Structure 1
Amino acid sequence: MLCPGKVFLVGGPVRDRLLGVQAHDNDWVVTGATPEQMLAAGFTQVGKDFPVFLHPETREEYALARTERKQGHGYQGFICHTNPDVSLEEDLQRRDFTINAMALGPDNQLTDPYQGQTDLQNRLLRHVSPAFSEDPLRVLRGARFLARFYHLGFRVAEETLTLMSELAIQGELQHLSAERVWKETERALEEADPEQYFQLLQQTHALEVWWPELQTLCLQPDALTIPDELKGSGQSMQVWAWLLKTLSSEQIQTLNIRLKSPRRYLDFALLYEAFRHTLYTPENTEQVLMLLEKSGALKQGGLFAALLSMLPADDRLLKQQWQSLADNIRQISARQFSEQGLKGPELGQAIRQQRIQEVSHWLHRL
């Protein structure tokens, strides 16, 4: 299937190819074509604000080259302009960082008008143009890219740090929606060094806007240190709970409600805050049983498996012991007591006493 105009691979896939890391998606830009030509070639239009088309075979997205003009606040205040005369260089100029403003043509010829390859070699996150300040979401994106590439030696250019700070101080981040803020935050939690996301937001005065509860933590060198087994594991819920573990339950609820995070993130953060000491050092029978009940360990599903994943990777024995206890308690059924003629409150009390006894024996064996 031939695409009208000239097709370029742009943005993240080009950056990742030059870095030698795997790219998950392709990002295509088409110059010299009209929406009508794309549709005639079999593409399906999906973009509402600007022309984006799905390839009829690969279903990958192809966007017509465009320019943007700021109108209003936030990340939605843009008017997009696209026509066959918009050049590749003009399209690349609207992008956030120089390392994301490169393109590869059909002949693998690199187009790099803003020295992205040099910044890539120097491990530098630098904005493309002053238009960076038109989109406050780029502050969060910059922090997320630092979380992704920090282990490769990346840092943020001083002039870019200045622009990020100005955006935060001027109140531009307040115009972002909670949904977009959470989406960037959640993605940052899955990166190789999630703590760098929050450290940079603190450095640029952005943390106080959406995450004020974390400000004190960012001033403590070890407070944001995340275990290696959680970093880059895709366990964003567990990373979030780890970061919030020293907050009060009220602070955890306030922060999650403000960010409109999914309910499981709030529930698990509260669970870990309440029972993390019991998880690592089980001593009290009632606390152990309550942990099992609250985490859903006594039935299928629940958050028990996620809770066990918070244990250190080298403490496999304790993880196995917790799992064994949960398995044993699940074996305690109402049938064995109902056969003795117990029912109602007496039946419930008998089951609970049996569970307490099982936990007590388990603690003595530790």
Structure 2
Amino acid sequence: MKVYLVGGAVRDKLLKRPIKECDYVVVGSTPAELISLGYQQVGNDFPVFLHPKTKDEYALARTERKSGQGYTGFICDFTPEVTLEEDLVRRDLTVNAMAEDEYGNIIDPFNGQADLKRKLLRHVSDAFCEDPLRILRVARFAARYHYLGFTIAPETQQLMQKMVAKGEINTLTKERIWLEIEKSLKDGAINVFTDVLQQIGALQALLPKLSNKWDKAASNQLAKILTNIQHEQEPIAIFCLWLQKLDTADLKQLSDTFRFPNSYLDALMLFNEFSSKLSTYQATSKVVLTLFDKTDLWRRPERLKLFLRTFALLGDAENVLAEKLDQTAKKVALVDVQAIIKQGFKGAEIKEQLDILRAKVIEEVFGNSFPS
């Protein structure tokens, strides 16, 4: 039995990037042997095991044979006779098809190190086209390593385009598509991810409403904004900025199609409703108060904070306005409802008086900023 570090950990180690997780391939072993050594099998039909101490993933070397359409239609062979090279050849990109043995030696049968130096994302073999999920993965890698100058090899991009034209991408589940989108939001340049999908026709197939409004100007505008945000900490904010050009009907259709997480959809609906209204020329005390009400400032202040952080990224004027809105929110939240009740107001009258007092506070903070 031999164990090799494989995939992303080897790639990122060579790129001198932080390694987030380690995956291993085991050659010359069986499920029974690994279980006897204390490894825990993940699932029943797939030869992946968790290390008894580190919980890292160890997969038996395997080959795959296409048995149906989509990314799940494969028959696996993971007998002890499967070699390391046979396992690596089934992988998507040459930079992901390298292994490292226990002595630190790199096994690189498909010239992944050379492609790292050339900053090239190139498919390993024609087996690439058997798995449509790889279209999204390559787009995500192009976005993640864009800052290093990586590009997709022309032959790989052509292959991706052919896969889209054949309709393979339509076999992906909406949940799997969303997972790749969310990873790309956290990776960094979601605009590059979108550019790649647009270039090969996948954006029109997956997100036609966005495809119709996506161009070089939109990509460049988003790229400029993204330089001022920490991606892993603010994926929801990036999501809002990415889809800010879509109207309410478009968003509802997308939500029905992809079933976005509620936290993402909620933030996006609020952002698209209020970001255009809250310019220095359009903001009014009524609009501001409505924003506070819809974000439920009174019970869920974090929703307004997320909106303001996202809104501030749109430009210098929006950043100034976001700071003023934050100051206003803190003062408006101090309006005492109990004092209103003590004055004898009841039922709907309480809300009416609250709105009057809150609007007054808003106008006091903004002064003459609102249009007459």
Shorter-chain TM-score bucket reads over 0.9
What stretches of structure 1 of length at least 5 have no aligned partner?
A: none
What is the 5 A alignment of 1:78-157? 78-157=74-153
Q: How big is the shift at 1:220?
A: 4.1
Which residue of structure 1 aligns with residue 284 of structure 2?
284
Secondary structure of the structure 2 residue equivalent to 1:221? helix
Check if 1:221 corresponds to 2:217.
yes
Equivalent pair of 2:231/2:238 in contact (CA under 8 Å):
no
User: For residues 150-208 of structure 1, what are the alpha-carbon distances to aligned partners after superposition, in whole Å with 9 as ceiling and x for unaligned?
Assistant: 11000000110111001100000111100000000111111221101111001111111
Equivalent pair of 2:192/2:219 in contact (CA under 8 Å):
no
Secondary structure of the structure 1 residue equivalent to 2:92? coil
Check if 1:328 corresponds to 2:327.
no
Check if 1:166 corresponds to 2:169.
no
What is the 5 A alignment of 1:182-331? 182-223=178-219, 225-226=221-222, 227=225, 228-230=227-229, 232-281=231-280, 283-310=283-310, 311-312=312-313, 317-331=320-334
Which residue of structure 2 aligns with residue 345 of structure 1?
348
Distance 1:38 1:251 in 2: 50
- Structure 1 residues 119-128 or 216-225, which shifts more? 216-225
Q: Partner amino acid for 1:323?
A: D
Check if 1:76 corresponds to 2:75.
no
Q: How big is the shift at 1:233?
A: 4.1
- Structure 1 residues 260-269 or 34-43, which shifts more? 260-269
- Structure 1 residues 225-234 or 147-156, which shifts more? 225-234
What stretches of structure 2 of length at least 5 have no aligned partner?
A: none
Secondary structure of the structure 2 residue equivalent to 1:320? helix
What TM-score results when the alignment is normalised by the length of structure 2? 0.93
Distance 1:32 1:177 in 2: 34
Task: Specify which of 6, 9, 17 is matched with residue 10 of structure 1.
Answer: 6
- Structure 1 residues 139-148 or 216-225, which shifts more? 216-225
Task: Specify which of 15, 26, 34 is matched with residue 19 of structure 1.
Answer: 15
Q: How big is the shift at 1:302?
A: 4.7
Q: How big is the shift at 1:280?
A: 4.4
Describe the shift of the 1:61–1:94 C-alpha distance in structure 2 as closer, same or farther (beyond 3 A). same
Secondary structure of the structure 1 residue equivalent to 2:367? helix
Describe the shift of the 1:224–1:77 C-alpha distance in structure 2 as closer, same or farther (beyond 3 A). farther
Distance 2:238 2:196 in 1: 17
Distance 2:93 2:72 in 1: 19
Distance 1:208 1:318 in 2: 36
Q: How big is the shift at 1:209?
A: 1.1
Q: How big is the shift at 1:86?
A: 0.6
Equivalent pair of 2:335/2:358 in contact (CA under 8 Å):
yes
Q: Partner amino acid for 1:235?
A: E
User: For residues 267-311 of structure 1, what are the alpha-carbon distances to aligned partners after superposition, in whole Å with 9 as ceiling and x for unaligned?
Assistant: 211111111034443631111111111122232345211111110
Distance 1:58 1:272 in 2: 42
Equivalent pair of 2:6/2:100 in contact (CA under 8 Å):
yes
Which residue of structure 1 aligns with residue 31 of structure 2?
35
Secondary structure of the structure 2 residue equivalent to 1:245? coil
Check if 1:66 corresponds to 2:62.
yes
Q: How big is the shift at 1:38?
A: 0.5
Describe the shift of the 1:124–1:299 C-alpha distance in structure 2 as closer, same or farther (beyond 3 A). same
Q: Partner amino acid for 1:74?
A: G
Q: Partner amino acid for 1:352?
A: D
Which residue of structure 2 aligns with residue 359 of structure 1?
362
Distance 1:118 1:95 in 2: 17
Q: How big is the shift at 1:334?
A: 1.7
Q: RMSD between aligned alpha carbons?
A: 1.7
- Structure 1 residues 313-322 or 110-119, which shifts more? 313-322
How many residue pairs are counted as aligned between the two chains? 362
User: For residues 88-116 of structure 1, what are the alpha-carbon distances to aligned partners after superposition, in whole Å with 9 as ceiling and x for unaligned?
Assistant: 10100110000000000001110000000
Q: Partner amino acid for 1:296?
A: D
Q: How big is the shift at 1:223?
A: 5.0
Distance 2:140 2:24 in 1: 22
Describe the shift of the 1:59–1:198 C-alpha distance in structure 2 as closer, same or farther (beyond 3 A). same
Distance 2:12 2:221 in 1: 27
- Structure 1 residues 296-305 or 234-243, which shifts more? 296-305
